[in-house]
Structure 1
């Protein structure tokens, strides 16, 4: 019996000692180290997530999309930096159900300025808010208490729905994201008391402005109206800019005189020619010649600055400055079948004419009968400082006092005539197909340059279409990728197989 107990005690002692020894093996040590490292890593990740969670959403969301829909342009940054009044943005939507792209962009926009205040109101929990703000669900109400102005931005205007894809294929998709353009336009509207009216002429077979251009004019808060000068005795008094786009018929002599009188009173006119050139419109051409712009016959071909070998698809040289240079960085504008002008001496010394868009000096004006080499203006501006009298001639005395009062009553204004000889500058087929070009930016700058103290704030929507990295022109590189690399791999594999087979 005692022998049995002693055996048990010895076995018990060896078991405890063996168990202790098992924790001192190299495998156990490595396992303990791995567990410790794992616990430490998990702890670091938890702490890191807690810290990141405290960072505002605007700073922890990185834009890695190819279209950079969250990037904010300098135009918006400069506007928000100059704000003197608070702007309230009330979002009438269920936040958790709102598209993540809209939520992210709003948070980034809110962080740009302490003058921007964004508040979310759930219309399901607070249905009276829709009546209070006189707006529908999924709408942003933008207001400024200092000016008393209010406007709304619908989510549908930010995320543009692809109706074609839905009705024909039954798929839900979006074509573009216009968060910055819509919000910046709304902020500019509610904080700005000045409104500009642009009258577009009719009655001469004018072309129709594309939706891209009208949207950009609207974003800049320009009011676009129409006027038929044949039915008027003068250009409307509230006209800030008279726009004539792609006319196919000439002005009457009375209309031409109206334009001369309008310019003489400090008016602003912008003419964009289409397929019918100025040389074919005698009365309109006469006004241009008076201001130092002589139209030439034919289309401009420029072999040194053409698109993929098509001499009539040209990239003109830009010479812009001041307001005209705002946002112009690539200097790339594409025109098709442009016509040209030669700059000459104006009829009056008070007129100054300069070009801002021209061909190279290796271009040609092509007609059916001739090819005339030279450098041609495609876009030019003529300005003139004119004197405006008060029109008050109650006292016709010749006293010196009356003379001084007459001089003091005179005011001056600057008339401006802008001419672009290529309607393709704002052709939708070009502006929508080549979004990287600056056609629309140059056009909007030319419009805005007519208004003192006004900045071009129209920002184009960003496409949501998928971009593919494809080789567009087959050549040596394509042949190498398609045949060369696979051939090298096959040869190398055969060499390795053959060497191992011999071994």
Structure 2
């Protein structure tokens, strides 16, 4: 009897020791796994839009960082946004030169001192501040999230990567928006276009040729958006001098619907000297495939082959032009190269006499296709002329490929400069679609890894019971 009790006691002791050893081993494995997970920059994002996977554009921007970039997220300790926090962790992983910190300015307002914000006073909760190379960029909470036709959009990566590019660029090409001719205002009508340029590492300012007398020497290009009044003779001479010296010019003009009077004579003389006529007219589209269902004058044009449109064609992103002025070619110098960028369908027509009140096409109208935008290059000067300005206003810029047309035109005018445009991502999808390599990974996890873990666990439990 005593012998049996001693055997049982020995088995119990052995079982207890084995259990303790296994518990310690499992605990060590868990601790080691957690520590390894924090140190190894490996993640698997199963969201349909890859909300927490940084794009190749971001990697290209961050790979070249040599100086420290500070990212401050203004959130109280109890009110941090989970999506923003997760995204900022990915930025910390992608580069050792990126430092992220959360700033509870309600408790400690002095935390903003290290970000050198200058005249910026109000920094609401949810603001992201990116600081580096003596520059800073403030991203408002409203710029991180937006609602659209496809759902709620998250622009976190787009804004933060653009801000990093802005503050770390060695030089910022200077773009001047022409003012003084009743153009669209940069602070209201085209604020998103200006923000897009800054995300693409441009410096933006306004220019009054009447005040300055000439285009500043630091101008990389000049943009005129929907001028309703003409250049004076002195302004036209200054702009012409700038172009002849190798300047870059983007002009967008809207259609004239009420008068045949040429209100943009001097603008027109400049464009005609490079082979483009911007005479008064408007374009009407008859082919349903090339206009929005809401209006025959909201065109979805075809693309011409050019560096500006190449990626848009590959990505199948369409431009929407609300109310368009047609452009025609005129005689020009042999060394001027004209490339149509956008064109209406053969079923469209252009009304050159806008006093005609007929709804349909008349004998005086011009049968399509009609060219709607041109890229112009000579030995030095470059110009993009677009027969619409509404596409780049705040209400339309984010529609389809409109922002691509704008920023691609600017980059091409600046010598083919690479853009770091990153699209917003939908965050409220109701379904998850898994295809290709992601499907294989998910299948391996669900059908191999998880069953194998459970099988090994079952074997372990069986062995422990057997030892009893």
Q: Structure 2 length as normaliser, TM-score?
A: 0.68
- Alpha-carbon distance, 1:187 to partner: 1.3
> For residue 417 of structure 1, what is the aligned residue in structure 2?
383
Of 230, 234, 242, 1:254 maps to 234
Rounded to whole Å, the distance in 2 between the matches of 1:459 and 1:100 is: 21
1:455–1:229 distance in 2 versus 1, CA, 3 Å: same
> For residue 298 of structure 1, what is the aligned residue in structure 2?
281
1:335–1:138 distance in 2 versus 1, CA, 3 Å: closer
Q: Does 1:107 find its partner at 2:89?
A: yes
> For residue 372 of structure 1, what is the aligned residue in structure 2?
366
- Alpha-carbon distance, 1:76 to partner: 2.2
Instruction: Give CA-to-partner distance per residue, 1:306-337, whole Å, 9 cap, x none.
Output: 22273222111123543554566123111122
> For residue 449 of structure 1, what is the aligned residue in structure 2?
412
Rounded to whole Å, the distance in 2 between the matches of 1:123 and 1:259 is: 48
- Alpha-carbon distance, 1:366 to partner: 2.6
Of 260, 285, 299, 1:314 maps to 299
- Alpha-carbon distance, 1:341 to partner: 1.3
Rounded to whole Å, the distance in 2 between the matches of 1:124 and 1:374 is: 62
Q: Does 1:263 find its partner at 2:232?
A: no
1:83–1:372 distance in 2 versus 1, CA, 3 Å: same
Higher relative contact order structure (alpha carbons within 8 Å, sequence separation ≥ 6): 2
Q: Does 1:336 find its partner at 2:322?
A: yes
Instruction: Give CA-to-partner distance per residue, 1:19-61, whole Å, 9 cap, x none.
Output: xxxxxxxxxxxxxxxxxxxxxxxxx9x9899957853497557
Q: What secondary structure is seen at the aligned counterpart in 2 of 1:456?
A: coil
Tell me how many residue pairs correspond in the alignment. 380
Rounded to whole Å, the distance in 1 between the matches of 2:266 and 2:104 is: 61
Rounded to whole Å, the distance in 1 between the matches of 2:321 and 2:278 is: 17
Q: Does 1:353 find its partner at 2:367?
A: no
Instruction: Give CA-to-partner distance per residue, 1:234-272, whole Å, 9 cap, x none.
Output: 222222211111111222233222222111111111111
> For residue 393 of structure 1, what is the aligned residue in structure 2?
none
Unaligned runs of 5+ in 2: 1-25, 118-122, 357-361, 432-468
Of 164, 172, 184, 1:187 maps to 164
Q: What secondary structure is seen at the aligned counterpart in 2 of 1:224?
A: strand
1:227–1:152 distance in 2 versus 1, CA, 3 Å: closer
Of 128, 134, 150, 1:149 maps to 134
- Alpha-carbon distance, 1:127 to partner: 7.2
**Contact (CA 8 Å) 1:203, 1:228: kept in 2 or not?**
yes
Of 352, 372, 393, 1:427 maps to 393
- Alpha-carbon distance, 1:185 to partner: 2.0
- Alpha-carbon distance, 1:274 to partner: 2.0
Rounded to whole Å, the distance in 2 between the matches of 1:427 and 1:153 is: 22
**Contact (CA 8 Å) 1:279, 1:295: kept in 2 or not?**
no
Rounded to whole Å, the distance in 2 between the matches of 1:264 and 1:211 is: 30
Q: Does 1:221 find its partner at 2:215?
A: no
Instruction: Give CA-to-partner distance per residue, 1:47-103, whole Å, 9 cap, x none.
Output: 8999578534975573536x7644544432332344455544455656664211111
- Alpha-carbon distance, 1:429 to partner: 3.1
1:321–1:84 distance in 2 versus 1, CA, 3 Å: farther
Rounded to whole Å, the distance in 1 between the matches of 2:146 and 2:249 is: 36
**Contact (CA 8 Å) 1:140, 1:155: kept in 2 or not?**
yes
Q: Which stretch has the larger CA shift, 252-261 or 69-78?
A: 69-78
> For residue 30 of structure 1, what is the aligned residue in structure 2?
none
Q: Counterparts of 1:273-288 in structure 2 under 5 Å? A: 273-276=253-256, 280-288=263-271
- Alpha-carbon distance, 1:283 to partner: 2.0
> For residue 377 of structure 2, what is the aligned residue in structure 1?
383
Structure with more of its chain in strand, by fraction: 1
- Alpha-carbon distance, 1:449 to partner: 1.6
1:143–1:225 distance in 2 versus 1, CA, 3 Å: closer
Q: Which stretch has the larger CA shift, 250-259 or 53-62?
A: 53-62
Q: What secondary structure is seen at the aligned counterpart in 1 of 2:58?
A: helix
1:87–1:321 distance in 2 versus 1, CA, 3 Å: farther
- Alpha-carbon distance, 1:442 to partner: 1.0
Of 417, 428, 439, 2:402 maps to 439
Instruction: Give CA-to-partner distance per residue, 1:271-326, whole Å, 9 cap, x none.
Output: 11024489652222122111111235421122231222732221111235435545
1:254–1:150 distance in 2 versus 1, CA, 3 Å: closer
> For residue 24 of structure 1, what is the aligned residue in structure 2?
none
Q: What secondary structure is seen at the aligned counterpart in 2 of 1:111?
A: helix
1:156–1:257 distance in 2 versus 1, CA, 3 Å: same
Q: Does 1:77 find its partner at 2:59?
A: yes
> For residue 236 of structure 1, what is the aligned residue in structure 2?
216
Rg (Cα) greater in structure: 1
Unaligned runs of 5+ in 1: 1-43, 163-173, 386-413, 470-503
Instruction: Give CA-to-partner distance per residue, 1:165-202, whole Å, 9 cap, x none.
Output: xxxxxxxxx97543213311221123211112222222
